[in-house]
Structures are given as structure tokens and as C-alpha cells.
Structure 1
Amino acid sequence: PAEVVFTSGGTESDNFAIKGVAWANRNKGDHIIISQIEHHAVLLTCRFLEEEGFKVTRLPVDKDGLVDPAEVAKAITDRTILISIMHANNEIGTIEPIAEIGRIAKERKVYFHTDAVQTFGHLPLAVDELNVDLLSASAHKLCGPKGVGLLYIREGTRIVPFMHGGEQESGRRASTQNVPGIVGFGKAVELAAATQAEEAARLTAFRDRFIEGILDRLDGIRLNGHPTRRLPNNVNLSVESIEGEGMILSLDMLGIACSTGSACSSSSLEPSHCLIAIGLPHEFSHGSLRFSLGRYTKESDIDAVLEALPQVVRRLRALSPLSGGKKSA
């Protein structure tokens, strides 16, 4: 369709949406609204635009990671040209009230972009119901090929290309199209759509069993993100006074793959921006684990984690002077 531009992935789509709208509308305004927990593709793009003279408001979220639509409305000024709020957070799984925020943007005549990389193909998406003008998606999040994504651009949206060269994608995105990737993306969407409702229900049941089971087995552990308004395939937990990296390595040796929510680098021990934004206490912020469920996840996989994680935590707590005798199994 004319309203879809194929890109190299979610990061390019976010850059295109935000830079393209900002540059095309700078004669009307210079103010952009985002949240504090956006993907770095949005956060760093907006930081770049600030260096060009744009003003950026970063809205706080509550303890579950939700953006308050009323705060969005209050932040809009006569210079606001774009609002960008992700549909669901990639780290803590919280699903944002996008339709309500989009309705506010529409009433105030402000363009609205959402990064839907986490929800595209997993949850029902209708751009008119969500009231969005621009939407980013990526193929590999629904078992499609890596290196291909899309940006939905509502007809009439004032936007300029941020890449220049050829006339591909009707002059909106220069570069040779990744035809095999686009074909694979289309097939992935077709397969996901055929089983979307059933798969969401299956993963939600697994997710809830996982959360209930681990919270019952361990003290000093908490769920990050909204307890129910969250992605079907996301579980993000924080264990008190234990480093996430230690748990990841131990679980990996048992054949269990997960990632840390602390996102530490060699030069910084700061926890992730999402965990800081939801006000996670320091004793929990470095011990975060993110488990992602998917099409090939089985009930036996949930059983394996529920058995293994308490064992790992028990062993690491025995080594930690900070554990304080928490229950481990």
C-alpha cells in the first residue's frame, strides 16, 4: 500500500518517522513529546534533534510503566509537532494507552507516532482505532527475517526523507529494497495473523503461570511492568541483592536463555533507563531478568525455569552478604 514504506528495521523506522516529521514541520513548531521509557532509537534520535534546536519533553511513567494521557495533554503547546509513545515497552512489557493518547493528539492536531515493534503481529493493530499517523514495525519480532521493517505513514502526513539517493519507495526512502526480506516479512505476517488470537491466549497463560509460580517460590522478587496490561510474551523480574549477570550465566549453563534488564556496560553500572523511570529500588534494579516467550515455547519450558531459577537464586544468595536470608525455594 502507498502508506507503507519498507525499511531496514525498527530503528530506521523510528528515525525516519521522528526526523522526517520534525524536519518537514519545523516552520510550524519545534516541540516533540516522548516518554522516559522509549526505545533508544527514539531517545537518541530526539537527543540528536535537540542538538539541532528542537525541544523535547520526556514524560514520566508510573510504577507500572504507564504514561498518563492527561500528562500528554498538559505537555502539548502551540509549538508541538509530534508525539511519539511506544505501543508496548520492549523491556518491562507494559502496553500503553495508545488509542487514548492518539485521540488527544488528533484533537490537538499534532502528529502521533508509535513504535509498535513489540506488538505488531502479536496483538490486534488497527491504525484508525489507535489514532496513529505513523507506526514502526520490524519483521524479526514475529519470526521473520532480520534486517527488514516498515513504517506506516498515514496519507497526508507531512514528512520528508532522512535518506537521499534513489527514488525507491516513491521517493520516500532511497536505497535498494531488500526484496527477499520483504517477501519473508509478508509471509511472517501471514502466518502470525492466522494464529494471532490463539497464540496470544496460549502465551498469556504461560506468562501468568510463570509469574505466579516464581513469585510463590521466592521472596525478595518482584514483577516489573503492569501485572495484566502487558505483552503476552514478556516476563520481567527483579531479584533483590543479586546481580542479573550472575543469574543469566548460571541459567545459560542450564540451557535457559534470558537477558538482563540492567543493561550494564563496561563503563557504567547504572540500571536501565526503564527501571530507573519506574522507580525500582537500587537493591532490585541490578538483579533484573527478562524472559521472552514465543511460538516455540512449550509448557515444559516454563516448568524448567520454575525449577531452575530458585536453585540459581539459592546458590547465589548463599554467596551474597546482602541476601538477608530470603526464601529461595
Structure 2
Amino acid sequence: MTTDNQELRDKIERVYTEMGKVVVGQRYMVNRLLIGLFTQGHVLLEGVPGLAKTLTVNTLAKVLDLDFQRIQFTPDLLPADLIGTMIYNQTKGEFEVKRGPIFSNIILADEINRSPAKVQAALLEAMQERQVTIGETTFKLDKPFLVLATQNPVDQEGTYPLPEAQVDRFMMKVFITYPDKKSELEIMRRMANTNYKEEVNPILSSIDVFAIREAINQVKMNEQLEEYVVELIFASRFPRDYGLKEEAKYVQFGVSPRAGIALNRAAKAIAFMDGRDYVIPEDIKEVIYDIFGHRIILNFEAEAEGITTRNIIDGILQKVAINKV
């Protein structure tokens, strides 16, 4: 790693420290959000209410010193409320564009699954093409552009399942769990004090983000590991071909080609943040659950027997070995 890269890594560590002033015990979540930012991948956070999902994204936006917009998704939200619309200017006697909150660097789509499919679909073009169309005009979105969405578990009242096409556009889906006892105690001590208020300082600028992206692009993944990623992808699609007879009973669809792209980028990001300019197998295994988990579609039999995508991924990792590639 060059001196410049080490300076960037030091700044990333300072981000964790600064985030810790406000958010307790969520380093894993912050790490996945940073991977998404550095590799241009949107991130979906899922967890029950009260696990600091919104607070974490809000705080991260302040630490990154980027433009930020929070959009609260509700059942009555309209696509125009998201991307903008055409309004008539009586003074000029013509229609003009009123841009929506989507025109920002970081978008927090809060409780995204509380809005109907029409609004969720309005995000598709923005997330994939980094552009939106209002009337007959297409507008490029600001760079960097990142959608960080939160959702409550789909079995909660008032939620709508996200379309599979939209879920696939999220690079990672991160499940947020309850804090441990030590973190729980610290949260209680802080928040029980109504006067508690901690300000964070901006650490990373947009220039830093682009520099980190370029450094991650320079991280090497050898051909053997690239082939390993492809084998993992195909094992999710054709589990029987890999001796996964038990798992094959439950898999309806395997992962899409986006999974391979995401796994490649995320593994390089992990390597960079660990101070290496090359990827090792552990980098791939560290992020595969976040990338494959929401892309493997299970059948009703899996749901009835309590089989999760994590069980399927466990089987894939056991059967697909690097020395067999």
C-alpha cells in the first residue's frame, strides 16, 4: 500500500471513531455502508424498529460531508414526491422542472417497504442508471450517489414486499441484530440522559471518496479467485450439479449476474481496508452472505421447513472449494 492509500485508510478508521460518538456497537453496519459508498453499491438495511438504522445513516452523512436527504416512505407517497415534477410558472407562462429530494449524494429511503410498488419502482432508474426522467427530460444525478434504504421485517403490519427487480439493485442487504449487553448498557446510559448530545465532525470529502474508489479499483483479484466467484454463482443456480441435493429442494432461483459484480467489488474493498492490494478467499467469504442472501429466491417448501438463504450459502461454501476450481 502506498503512503496516500495509508492516509485514506487512516481517515476511514477516523470515520469509525467519529461514528462511535453517536452510534454504539454498530461497526458491522457502518462497515457495510462504507463498502457500498466506496464501490457504488446501494445498501438495504433490515431490522426491527429501534436498532439505530436511521440514526446510523444520518450520522454517516454528517461524517462524510456530503449532501444528504432523508425521505420518509409512507403509503401515500407519490413518485413525484421522490424524483420531482413539472410545475407551471405563471410568471413565465411555461412549465418548469421542480427537482425532488432524489437529487442529492446520499439518499436515506427510510422504511422503504411502507410505500406501494409504484413509488418503489420510481427508484429503479435512479439506482441503476444514476439518472431520472421528469417529463421529457432526463437528468443525471449528483456524484457520488448512494441509496441507503431501511426496512422493517416484511411480516410487520403496513409493509409491502419490495419487487425482486428492485431488491436485486441493492448491492447488499444487511440484517441488523440486537446489540450485545455491553452496548445495550452504554446505549441506555447515554439516551437516559435527556441532555446528552454529541456532535460529529466531517472526515471524508467527495474527493476522498473518489480517491478511495480509485484505490479499490487497483486492488488485484487473481484469475483463480475470479473463477471461484463464478463457481459460487453457478452453485446457487444449479445446486444439484455441485452435489447440493438437499439445498436444491429449496432453491427456486439462484443469484443474478449483479451478484458476481458486487462480490468482486466488495471483496476488493475489504482487502483495501485491511491494508492489502490483493484479494484473499476470506474477503469473498466475509461479504457473500450480504450479497447472495437477498438474491437467492427460496420456494414455499423452504419457508415451511424454516430453511433460510444463509443455510443455502453455508452449503455452497462447503461444497465449492478453491482448490477444485
Question: Scaled by the length of structure 1, what TM-score is found?
Answer: 0.31
- Greater RCO structure (CA 8 Å; 6+ sep): 2
Question: Scaled by the length of structure 2, what TM-score is found?
Answer: 0.32
Higher share of residues assigned helix: 2
